[in-house]
Structure 1
Amino acid sequence: MFRKSLEKRLLEISRRIKKEKEDLLVAEEQLISLIDDADEARIRSLVSETAISDNDRRDSARQSENMEKYCHKIRNEIQRLEEIQDGLLDKLNTENI
């Protein structure tokens, strides 16, 4: 019975890791686009030297920073889930001995 419970939890953790990794791929693609947008806004701000372009630059930079934080959060969650998965695998392996 204990083995079935471990296997069920392992499957759930594995599913969650897979979903988080898929989410990370999407977020990283968005991050690349946001970084490009922020670079373009920075250049436009330097060339035009207007308050509007400076606001656009700050907004673009803030969006890319927020996406970087989000990607970092997802990476941390993946790491946490993998640590849980390792612990469950150790328990399952110990039970088999």
Structure 2
Amino acid sequence: MLTLTKLIDTYDLSLNPSGLSKCLEKRGVIIDVEYESTTGRGHTKTFKAIANEFLHLGENKASGFHEFKTEMKFKEEAIPEILDLVIEQLEKERGSLK
């Protein structure tokens, strides 16, 4: 299981983590999860997570910093499907330019 950054580095993909993440967010793979700030001020904060319907691509592993926050880890065997989702998103965006 790898983070997006490690996945890109390991397989020498022609993407950067920010662009890959943005495409996956637009496809609904990555979502923002809200939580109440632990400072006690009542602020709402967010962290990124893999949406439930895409957990076959990876998992949300518990973070060592907060009991409720998670870190996204993706399965290496899911790379082809992840790239297909990115390509679909880019094709959709290209189509909207016409």
**TM-score, normalised by the number of residues in structure 2:** 0.30
Higher relative contact order (CA 8 A, sep 6+): 1
Q: Name the structure where helix makes up a greater proportion of residues.
A: 1
**TM-score, normalised by the number of residues in structure 1:** 0.31
Q: Name the structure where strand makes up a greater proportion of residues.
A: 2
